Amino acid sequence: MRLQLSFIILICIALLSSCSRKKDKFLNKNFHAMTTYYNIVYNGNLALDKGKQEVEALYNEDYWTVLPIERMAIKEQKSRTLKKNTSEGENSNFEIAEEKATKSIQKHSMFMGGKEYNPQIDEAFLLLGKARYYDQRFVPSKDAFNFILNHYPKSSTINEAKIWVEKTNLRLEYFDTAIENLVSLMNSEELSPLESYEASTTLAQAYIFENEERLAIAPLRIAIEAAPDDEKRGRLLYIKGQLFSLLGEKDSARSSFDEVIALNRKSPRRYMIHSELEKLRLQGFENASWHETELAFQELSENRENRPFLDFIYFDNAVFRLAKDSVDLAIDKFNKSLGQKPKDKYLKSRNYFNLGEIYFDKASYETSGKYYDSTLSNLAQQTLEYRQIKRKRDNLEDVIKFERIAKTTDSILNLVEATEEERIEFFTAYIEKLKEEEKSIFASNTVSKLANSRFGAQKSQIGRSQSSTTKFYFYDITQKQRGEESFRKTWGNIELTDDWRRNPSRGTDIKDEEVIVEEKVRPEFDPQTYIAEIPSDEQVIDSISDQRNFAYYQLGIIYKEKFKKYELAISKLNFLLEHNPEERLILPSKYYLYKIYEEIGKTDLAVQWKNDILSNHPDSRYASILRNPEDYRSNADNPQNIYNKMYKNYKSGNYQYLLDEIDMYTKVFVGNSILPKLELLKARVLAKIEGVDSYIEALNYVALTYPQSQEGKYAQKQYKELKRKPLSSEFDLKPDPNAEYLLVFDFNKENAEEFHIQELKIKLQASIQEEEGLDLSLSENIYSQNQTLLTITGLSSKLGAEGLAKKFIKNAVFDESLTYFVISEKNYKIAQINKNLDEYLAKIK
């Protein structure tokens, strides 16, 4: 017994002595190493693996671009910081892994004399770096990996640490550094299969980020050979196929996709299905065999295992049918794709967009507009694609508006010209439709539908609560009236008495032997109700005709200029000329017909309209253009000369006048190549009088409306630059001895005449010339449409500027009631750019 007790005591003493982290003993090192790995790091790695699986499961693949090799959605820095400031992270497994790694380092590190004696601590640092990496804290992650490189150069994890440093460099967008270091590592070190896989995939991703698709192929091949499982191999093969597709190497791409398909159930089915779809796209839908391709899509859609992917299968099938001009069949498949409720928002947007384009080509603009609205709701607003579709949708507003006007006015004018018999026939057919609609509503016994129909009446709410859902007969006025009429038809005008059925007492105006009841026709079922609404006044008819003709003119111009729908434009303009248009619309319509036929290469018809203008309108501006295009270039009415004149006004600061002129000439020169110049000039004017926000909005309009013009390209470049690097709107109120200052006099519409701005300019100009030793200058700047600023520049200090103002007041150069202030040149530019002068004045008070 004593022997056993002594043995236990000795073991306890040995264990206690081995807990010390300051002794370089065999027992100490092994105790801490085993405790580090089996009790802490092992569990930390389990938590890390679980967290990785959750991240990969939550990742939404984007098959519209090259897939990333690593499935991890990168969040913005702002949202990551916000997450760290909350009590809980998004994925607690990474926090657990980090805690385990930290605990290992804090409690079991045996760092003595510049050397670490616990061989598992490098594993703990590796776990720490990975946990931070997946938690998307890349700088602290890199620090953990670098600690291994700096303090454990002989660690068995040294190559792995080097690779993970480059993975963090990739996430920090140091692509060149990552590529250089990985190439050096792969060429100089003998890597294990897993290390080779990690290094080559990281290198391939770096090349993809740098848009060097061809260079990414070689490391991808190495990674495919070293892939630890078929799931990863299938993904890499699919990415390789995508890269070959981008490079235009169809045979190599098809071979890669075939390898994915050959893996079958060894790899996730999503890669297999998308490989099948990619192979079908590679053959080119326009040139593909209808029978074989349709059969391939049919087999894919009928396979029960492919049900999760039907949204993509139906979409590609629809695109194929559209390429083959089978529009109705394409519509069916686009709708089937949407019917699968796809999670991929971009796929939804493409379905809606294609349907919008189809209905646009069919001239069903209202339907098309609704599909474009749905497209926009599934696209990110900051993208160029969103802005282009938004511009097209906005342009449709005018088309829809004018098409509605044209349709309505056409209908009215057709009825005006119709005979009485034709009118009765038209409205009788309309009334029959109303009756059929009413019958269907009564048949379905859905009172709510009746109440909301164009001829239904609201039910009485008297005598019942709001929550009541009863359909009592007498609560419906229409049913009640119909019942009363049916009763009178059968029984006559019966008095309300007892026993009326066996002894009916009829009204005195009804004979006993005969009941004559004239059924009253409801107004909505009487053709005369509608015929009476047809206008007969000549002025009203002329006004409607003018509306119709102007709508056709606008549609002709819109279809030509904005949508390049030349046949539609021709039909609208020809219709206009055939229906007695106003004089002001005749000549431009003929000229646009000439321009359209010239653009589409129908020279004979273009010459016909040219001769018409020269013969019937010889003194017009259009005739002079056609007759002497060279002479017209020097004419004062030439658009370029008008623009030059406007630009001079811009340089002179006549901004409000210029805005009015631009608005007028954009209507006069519809379809002329000068329009983008005018719109860009307008953008610059708006920058001067409304600030940078209006300038950005106007630039966006020019870029999207005239994308092929030089002005449109310039506007797009400026727009991107201002969005990428916005101009500061913050004032710098710190004293700056090197700053230049301005003395500013503030005039608005109300006080400009009171203080006689021109007289003040003369006085100030004379006064600053008398200031010896100062190089001062006076200028007049437009701040807004209602506000002008007189500025004296060349002042080197704020106190000097204020002293000059007081001196001018003392010398009666200006009245002290006039608003003036001192501002640095830097802050004056900020105020002019952002139009936030009031904010500055409030701050300096």
For every residue of 97-131, which 3-state class applies, written as one string? HHHHHHHHHHHHCCEECCEECCCCHHHHHHHHHHH
Of 367-376, 677-686, 757-766, the range with the lowest mean pLDDT is 757-766
* pLDDT score of 169 more than 90: yes
Higher pLDDT, 524 or 508: 524
Buried b (16+ CB within 10 A) or exposed e, 374-397: bbbebbeeeeeebbebbbbbebbe
To which residue do tokens 């001895």 refer?
Answer: 737
CATH topology match: 26-72+88-161 vs 538-627: yes
Using alpha carbons, select from 602, 599, 612 the residue that is nearest to residue 559: 599
Domain 741-844 class in CATH: alpha beta
Q: Three-class SS of residue 743? A: strand
For residue 739, give both structure tokens. Answer: 């700053």
E-strand spans in 31-165? Answer: 111-112, 115-116
Using alpha carbons, select from 41, 164, 165, 156 the residue that is nearest to residue 98: 41
Q: Which helix (H) or strand (E) holds 779?
A: strand 777-784
Query: In which band, very low, low, confident or very high, does the pLDDT at 77 lie, cut at 50, 70 and 90?
Result: low
Query: How would you classify residue 790: left for phi > 0, otherwise alpha for psi between -120 and 50, otherwise beta?
Result: beta
Average pLDDT rounded to a whole number, residues 487-514: 59
Q: Give residue 37's pLDDT.
A: 47
Of 29-33, 76-80, 654-658, the range with the lowest mean pLDDT is 29-33
Higher pLDDT, 443 or 759: 759
Out of 276-285, 508-517, 753-762, the most confident range is 276-285
* pLDDT score of 481 more than 70: no
Query: In which band, very low, low, confident or very high, does the pLDDT at 532 lie, cut at 50, 70 and 90?
Result: confident
Domain covering 26-72+88-161, topology: 1.25.40
Of 172-181, 265-274, 439-448, 516-525, the range with the lowest mean pLDDT is 439-448
Say if CB 23 and CB 31 are below 8 A apart. Answer: no
Average pLDDT, the chain: 80
Of 284-298, 427-441, 570-584, the range with the lowest mean pLDDT is 427-441
For residue 749, give both structure tokens. Answer: 């519409």
Using alpha carbons, select from 663, 668, 827 the residue that is nearest to residue 732: 827
pLDDT in tens, 714-749: 887 888 788 777 877 788 888 777 788 888 888 775
Higher pLDDT, 775 or 464: 775
Distance CA 488, CA 502 (A): 16
**Helix orientation angle between 837-844 and 825-834, rounded to the nearest 10 degrees:** 140
* pLDDT score of 707 more than 70: no
Higher pLDDT, 74 or 194: 194
Instruction: Please give the CATH superfamily to which domain 639-724 belongs.
Output: Tetratricopeptide repeat domain (1.25.40.10)
Query: In which band, very low, low, confident or very high, does the pLDDT at 608 lie, cut at 50, 70 and 90?
Result: very high
Domain 538-627 class in CATH: mainly alpha
Say if CB 585 and CB 553 are below 8 A apart. Answer: yes
Distance CA 60, CA 347 (A): 13
* pLDDT score of 470 more than 50: no
Query: What 8-state DSSP symbol labels residue 41?
Result: I
The share of the chain scoring above pLDDT 70, in percent, equals 79
* pLDDT score of 10 more than 50: no
Say if CB 613 and CB 623 are below 8 A apart. Answer: yes
Of 626-640, 777-791, 814-828, the range with the lowest mean pLDDT is 626-640
Say if CB 840 and CB 755 are below 8 A apart. Answer: no
Phi, psi of 744 (to 5 degrees): -115, 130
Distance CA 261, CA 259 (A): 5
Average pLDDT rounded to a whole number, residues 161-175: 92
Q: Give residue 36's pLDDT.
A: 43
Q: Give residue 281's pLDDT.
A: 93
Residue 34: what residue type? M
* pLDDT score of 247 more than 60: yes
Of 72-81, 136-145, 636-645, 686-695, the range with the lowest mean pLDDT is 72-81
The torsion angle over the Cα atoms of residues 407, 411, 412 and 418, rounded to 10 degrees, is 160
Q: Give residue 21's pLDDT.
A: 45
**DSSP bridge partners of 741:** 795, 824
Residue spans of the domains in the chain: they are: 26-72+88-161, 283-343, 344-414, 425-462+470-495+513-531, 538-627, 639-724, 741-844
Burial-class residue 707 by CB neighbours within 10 Å (0-12, 13-18, 19+): middle
**Helix orientation angle between 675-690 and 639-652, rounded to the nearest 10 degrees:** 10
Buried b (16+ CB within 10 A) or exposed e, 658-685: bbebbeebeeebbebebbbbbbbbbbeb
For residue 114, give both structure tokens. Answer: 């510049």
Average pLDDT rounded to a whole number, residues 20-30: 44
Q: Which helix (H) or strand (E) holds 778?
A: strand 777-784
Query: In which band, very low, low, confident or very high, does the pLDDT at 668 lie, cut at 50, 70 and 90?
Result: low
Q: Are strands 741-748 and 777-784 parallel, antiparallel or unpaired?
A: unpaired
Query: In which band, very low, low, confident or very high, does the pLDDT at 502 lie, cut at 50, 70 and 90?
Result: low
